[in-house]
């Protein structure tokens, strides 16, 4: 169980009228937890009003599902420590979606001066905090979606989103799109761009800077107020251009040449392989041509032999016809048998040569 004893913490702000931006106090302990106060001298959403907010320190280090119910109030002191004014006590539930609570319109700066709360332009603030109940764990996983200022974000993104809205409270005041899925997409794009631009400028390529510029235009057209991010991108682009005039440009070109040489070596290896394959195919074709020539010669020889045999048969038939015309004798039958045997022999020889 947490210590429920109230804690008071006092801090000073010098030259308050000269301060323009957010002022954060040192951290302090209350109920075994760290806290700090955000002071907006020129107002939070409302101009010309001192705004005070109690914040949980280091919320990203707390367990998933953490909650703290705490009561708090602010007091203005003079330089002798006398309490001049105290705000009504508030009791709020602090959790991952809402890591800070406060009053956006506590005082006008003119009223502080008129009532004598600023001695020598110094503001002395005291905050009293009492942790009533705290829960360090809950049924929340890193994949759960939670609502932050109308945007659904992952629980794991809450620290970055909360920090974003603390530093730039008006960032989404003019956001135009209403579809929740589209809003989540744009928020993820914004978080990614912020993380990307946190890299040192030498690590950016010109293409990366060009892509970042396009993303920034898309986000601005959707309604995000990103003048601060544009300024950062412009500075990175300028540093990159300056770097191109010194040795970094030479290094970039040398790296590019090195990559090209590697690609060239790969292409040469591919070409050598293709050339070897072409030579092998050419040799195969040459061998086939030789074999074809041999086969043609064999075929020519066989054809010549066949023609000679056919001529021989023709001559024998002519001679036989002449003999028949001279006379018909008992030898006719014998001659007929001989002639047919010769014809059969010629046909057999022809077939054998054809098969070869």
Q: What is the pLDDT of residues 220-266, one digit of tens each?
A: 999 999 999 999 888 888 887 776 555 555 666 677 788 888 888 88
**DSSP H or E stretch at residue 239:** helix 227-244
CA distance 120 to 78: 10
C-alpha 24/C-alpha 7 separation (Å) is 18
At 179-212, the pLDDT tens digits run 888 898 999 999 999 988 887 766 778 888 888 8
Integer distance in angstroms from the first to the last C-alpha of the chain?
108
b/e 112-148 (16+ beta carbons within 10 angstroms → b): beeeebbeeeebbbbbbbbbeebeeeeeeeeebebeb
Enter the tokens of residue 180: 């929740």
Provide the H-helix boundaries in 43-132: 109-114
Give the whole-angstrom CA distance, residue 306 versus residue 354: 9
The C-alpha atoms of residue 18 and residue 28 are separated, in whole angstroms, by 26
Beta bridge partners of 126: 10, 75
What pTM was estimated for this model as a whole?
Answer: 0.44
């Amino acid at each position: 169980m947490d210590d429920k004893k109230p804690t008071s913490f006092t801090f000073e702000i010098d030259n308050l009228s000269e301060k323009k931006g957010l002022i954060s106090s040192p951290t302090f302990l209350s109920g075994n937890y760290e806290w700090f106060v955000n002071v907006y001298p020129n107002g939070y959403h409302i101009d010309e009003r001192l705004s005070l907010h109690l914040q949980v320190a280091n919320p990203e280090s707390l367990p998933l599902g953490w909650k703290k119910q705490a009561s708090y109030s602010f007091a203005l002191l003079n330089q002798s420590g006398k309490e001049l004014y105290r705000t009504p006590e508030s009791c709020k539930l602090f959790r991952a979606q809402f890591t800070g609570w406060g009053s956006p319109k506590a005082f006008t700066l003119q009223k502080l001066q008129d009532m004598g709360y600023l001695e020598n332009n110094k503001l002395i603030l005291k905050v009293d905090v009492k942790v009533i109940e705290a829960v360090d764990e809950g049924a929340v996983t890193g994949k759960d979606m939670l609502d932050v200022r109308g945007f659904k974000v992952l629980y794991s993104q809450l620290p970055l989103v909360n920090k974003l809205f603390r530093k730039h409270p008006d960032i989404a005041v003019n956001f135009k799109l209403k579809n929740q899925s589209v809003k989540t997409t744009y928020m993820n794009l914004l978080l990614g761009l912020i993380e990307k631009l946190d890299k040192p400028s030498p690590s950016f390529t010109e293409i990366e800077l060009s892509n970042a510029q396009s993303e920034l235009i898309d986000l601005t057209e959707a309604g995000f107020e990103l003048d601060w991010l544009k300024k950062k991108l412009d500075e990175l682009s300028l540093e990159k251009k300056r770097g191109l005039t010194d040795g970094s440009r030479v290094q970039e070109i040398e790296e590019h040449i090195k990559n090209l040489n590697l690609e060239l070596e790969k292409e040469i290896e591919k070409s050598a392989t293709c050339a070897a394959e072409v030579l092998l195919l050419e040799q195969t074709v040459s061998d086939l041509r030789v074999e074809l020539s041999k086969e043609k010669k064999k075929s020519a020889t066989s054809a010549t032999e066949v023609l000679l045999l056919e001529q021989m048969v023709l001559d024998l038939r002519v001679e036989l016809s002449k003999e028949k015309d001279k006379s018909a004798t008992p030898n006719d039958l014998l001659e007929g048998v001989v002639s047919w045997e010769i014809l059969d022999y010629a046909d057999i020889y022809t077939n054998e040569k054809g098969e070869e």
